[in-house]
Structure 1
Amino acid sequence: MTTKIKLTKRVVDAAMPRSGRFVLFDSEIKGFGLRVFPSGLKSWVFEYKADGGGRRATTKRVTIGKTDEFTPDEARKIADKLRSKAKIGQDPQAEKAEKREAATVSKVATEFLATHVNAKRKASTRANYEDILNRIVTPALGSKKARDVTRADIAKLHLGRSKTPFQANRILAVLSSMYAFAGKHGLVPEGYNPARGIEKFPETSRERWLSPDELGRLGASIRLAETEGIPWSIDPTKKSKHVPKTKRETAIGEHAAAALRLLIFTGARLREILHLKWSEVDLERGLLLLSDSKTGKKTIVLNAPSIEVLSKLQRVGLYVIAGESAGSDEEKPRSDLKRPWAVVTRHADLEDLRIHDLRHNFASFGAGGGLGLPIIGKLLGHAQASTTQRYAHLDADPLRRATNTIGNTIATAMGEGKTSSDANLLKLGKL
């Protein structure tokens, strides 16, 4: 007959190891026991009958934890909850085994990227998802079971990026998409999404365009970098044994320079220029016939400066902007323009300028010139008219014409006539 005793700290301390492991069962909670190993290790266990009990039911055991992890009262409460589950036919041992084998965040992220993102998202989106998951999410949460991640875990990750609100909000979006995928594929309970409901940071759109003086400096820097090379800026107070004694200029090459000019003259996206193939260039009609872009198939109408850039550019391999593998059997497009862009903008004193700002600059010149938002949207390849609407405040001419019409009507009714400023506007063709 099994001896039962109320398990207390004194009982735990007094239980001496034997030649074989044994269990002391609690007198209050049926199945709750103290297991003692020959090594002296002690742990809390709970034994129960499977399938709600019965004489022929299999006896199963669940390890609650070591005695230095849980006090007798803490372990007893856990055992009581396990007993309640067993009484209604649940299987605590199977649940624990399932939880132990459940997918980690790292595993779910890998499956999400391989199965969903790579198959259904464009290259630029895939790169963004991979960067967020591999560089930010996995180091922070990768070892946790995906279904054990809480809203508080993700909120902490989000708040930790408060200085970069745009990126912090993208983390939420990617995680929300990943958990939706995980739920549909049985990796977490369906509908479980700890990224849902977390308030995003407000995002202030960054509008940066170039003044005529800044454009002049940028153009001069590109020409210098392409020909003579940008002189090194060396701090005379610092010593470096790696500074070359003769060549102290950095050149960027004609293809990098051409890429920068095309971005400036066309307002195209970076990948649209770097992935552009010569087979997609129609100089006779002045068109770039892109087979794929962020918004799908797209045609870019070339202007005279961009046609001149393409006409003078040396053709090396499949891609207009030749990369390191140009002309080889495994040719790939150039991956980025980070180095030449840094060299040029540093020399032009425009280090706050991003490559994507060149696209905004193109749009701002069009809006400021009164070309109309629909035309600008078509030139930029916007799929939604609302995307172009961000430049509406720059489209001053239609507003000026409207306010002048209203003002003149009111002034005529008042007997005021046209003002001297109106006469000047008439000369300029604004009225």
Structure 2
Amino acid sequence: MKAKLTVRGVEAIKPGAADVIVWDSELAGFGCKVTPKGKRTYFLYYRTKEGQQRRPTIGVHGPMRPEAAREIARRWLADVAQGKDPSQARTQDRVAPTVRELCARYIAEHAETRKKDSSIRNDRRLIDAHVLPAIGAKKVVSVTRADIAALHHALRATPYEANRMLAMASKMFSLAERWGLRPDNSNPAKNIDRYREEKRERFLNSAEVARLWQVLNSDAATSKASPAAIAAIKLLMLTGRRLNEVLGLKWAWVDLDAKVLRLPDTKNGALLVSLGDAAVAVLAELKASGRDDTYVIAGQRKGAPLVNLQKPWRALRALAGLDDVRIHDLRHTFASIGAGMGMSLHMLGRLLGHTQAATTSRYAHLAQDPVRSAADAIGAELMRLTEASDQIAV
């Protein structure tokens, strides 16, 4: 049966014992199918360039009018004329992975094989907190630069967080290209300007160091924090190590006789850390306590480390009147004291475990302090000599 498909004409088609097909007289291949139960759907019949027959559904009558269905059919036929297969494209689009699935694959195939545990945890946090709520349901191939820019903009109040999310998204979509999930050179996270990050470097001065150390050795401290937490903060001060390196420290890596820590896996790989006498004393006291045979900073459960130092740190820094000091500032303080004593940037880099000189260069202005003092002393002595010379001449 053939007729021009109109709203009145389609609704007038009577259902039969089997499907009833009415072909449109205006556009070849465009038709309407009516099932025995009266459901009316528009479709297009065509052959691919390989000669395969296709009959994809365009839409259901009611929500879709015949004029709109005919226009879609025309576009599809134009694609067919160019050698494309609209039906296959729709199938591929239906099974195309979502951003949620890309995130899962990114974690499993990239992060978990190439990143450290702390970085994996941070990636999971960024994904769960920001990426999935915003674009998790979108198809990977349909994500645009505007989508990522909007997500980045939504985090503008926390520039560091926004930029870390953007960097992770860029890597994910770069991998999506490599895995054939997006066309090459289509990364939607590229060419988005990062927010400016203000570097926050807080160094404790000599009075603050003395005040904090006094608090750590006070009765007030033991009422606010466990001995393990107090010892952890002391070690952070005395070694300049990162928080995860101290909390994850195992006795198997500690050599008190040689005064070293042999860390098998830090941010920059395996590292040999030299210990000063004060740090050795803290470690020896922990060893003598026999609290745990595996971890230096023991947690509540035997054989498990302390996993969170933030709560005791907030309580202890409050006792010392240092509410604006972060745990990581203890590492900055360790470096700043070394720089103030005239240690070279190369030596500081060795102590901190930096692999790039640029990372240590932030302390360059502090390393100049003793040099400046020496220059002042020499200048003052020269002036004293010249004044003495003038007196002799008179």
| TM-score bin, normalised by smaller chain | 0.7 to 0.9
The match for 2:319 is: 347
Q: What SS class does the counterpart of residue 45 from structure 2 fall into? A: strand
Contact 1:226 1:257 in 2 (8 A): no
Contact 2:15 2:36 in 1 (8 A): yes
The alpha-carbon deviation at position 154 of structure 1 amounts to: 1.0
Q: CA RMSD in A?
A: 3.0
Q: What SS class does the counterpart of residue 291 from structure 1 fall into? A: strand
Q: What SS class does the counterpart of residue 214 from structure 1 fall into? A: helix
Cα deviation digits, residues 202-248 of structure 1 (max 9, x gap): 11111112233433443344334776514xxxxxxxxxxxxxxxxxx
Contact 2:166 2:189 in 1 (8 A): yes
The runs of at least 4 consecutive aligned structure 1 residues that moved more than 6 Å come to: 420-423
Distance 1:422 1:28 in 2: 109
Specify which of 261, 266, 276 is matched with residue 293 of structure 1: 266
The alpha-carbon deviation at position 393 of structure 1 amounts to: 2.0
Instruction: Specify every segment of 5 or more residues in structure 1 that has no aligned partner in the other structure, as ranges.
Output: 231-251, 412-416, 424-431
Contact 2:339 2:348 in 1 (8 A): yes
The match for 1:263 is: 236
Contact 2:100 2:136 in 1 (8 A): yes
The alpha-carbon deviation at position 111 of structure 1 amounts to: 1.4
Amino acid at match of 1:128: N
- CA separation of 1:44/1:156 partners in 2, compared to 1, >3 Å: closer, same or farther? farther
The alpha-carbon deviation at position 299 of structure 1 amounts to: 1.3
Distance 2:323 2:140 in 1: 41
The alpha-carbon deviation at position 288 of structure 1 amounts to: 0.9
- CA separation of 1:265/1:422 partners in 2, compared to 1, >3 Å: closer, same or farther? farther
- CA separation of 1:40/1:206 partners in 2, compared to 1, >3 Å: closer, same or farther? farther
| 1:3 and 2:2 are equivalent in the alignment | yes
Cα deviation digits, residues 3-32 of structure 1 (max 9, x gap): 131x455656x4566356545444443333
Q: What SS class does the counterpart of residue 351 from structure 1 fall into? A: coil
Within a 5 Å distance, the mapping from 1:9-408 to structure 2 comes to 14-15=11-12, 18-19=15-16, 21-36=19-34, 42-51=40-49, 57-67=51-61, 72-224=66-218, 228-230=222-224, 252-313=225-286, 314-315=289-290, 316-326=292-302, 331-397=303-369, 400=372
The alpha-carbon deviation at position 46 of structure 1 amounts to: 2.4
TM-score, normalised with respect to structure 2:
0.86
Distance 1:226 1:76 in 2: 81
The alpha-carbon deviation at position 58 of structure 1 amounts to: 4.3
The alpha-carbon deviation at position 257 of structure 1 amounts to: 0.8
- CA separation of 1:49/1:219 partners in 2, compared to 1, >3 Å: closer, same or farther? same
The alpha-carbon deviation at position 297 of structure 1 amounts to: 0.7
- CA separation of 1:69/1:378 partners in 2, compared to 1, >3 Å: closer, same or farther? farther
The alpha-carbon deviation at position 281 of structure 1 amounts to: 1.0
Distance 2:227 2:142 in 1: 53
- CA separation of 1:60/1:266 partners in 2, compared to 1, >3 Å: closer, same or farther? same
The alignment covers a number of residue pairs equal to 383
Distance 1:43 1:283 in 2: 80
Question: Which piece of structure 1 moves more, 121-130 or 38-47?
Answer: 38-47
Q: What SS class does the counterpart of residue 299 from structure 1 fall into? A: strand
Q: What SS class does the counterpart of residue 51 from structure 1 fall into? A: coil
Amino acid at match of 1:362: F
Distance 2:71 2:19 in 1: 24
Contact 1:17 1:39 in 2 (8 A): no
Amino acid at match of 1:320: V
TM-score, normalised with respect to structure 1:
0.79
- CA separation of 1:373/1:89 partners in 2, compared to 1, >3 Å: closer, same or farther? same
The alpha-carbon deviation at position 84 of structure 1 amounts to: 1.7
Distance 2:142 2:249 in 1: 45
- CA separation of 1:127/1:87 partners in 2, compared to 1, >3 Å: closer, same or farther? same
Cα deviation digits, residues 50-85 of structure 1 (max 9, x gap): 336xxxx44322223345655555443332221122
The match for 1:429 is: none
The match for 1:240 is: none
Distance 1:201 1:223 in 2: 42
The alpha-carbon deviation at position 125 of structure 1 amounts to: 1.7
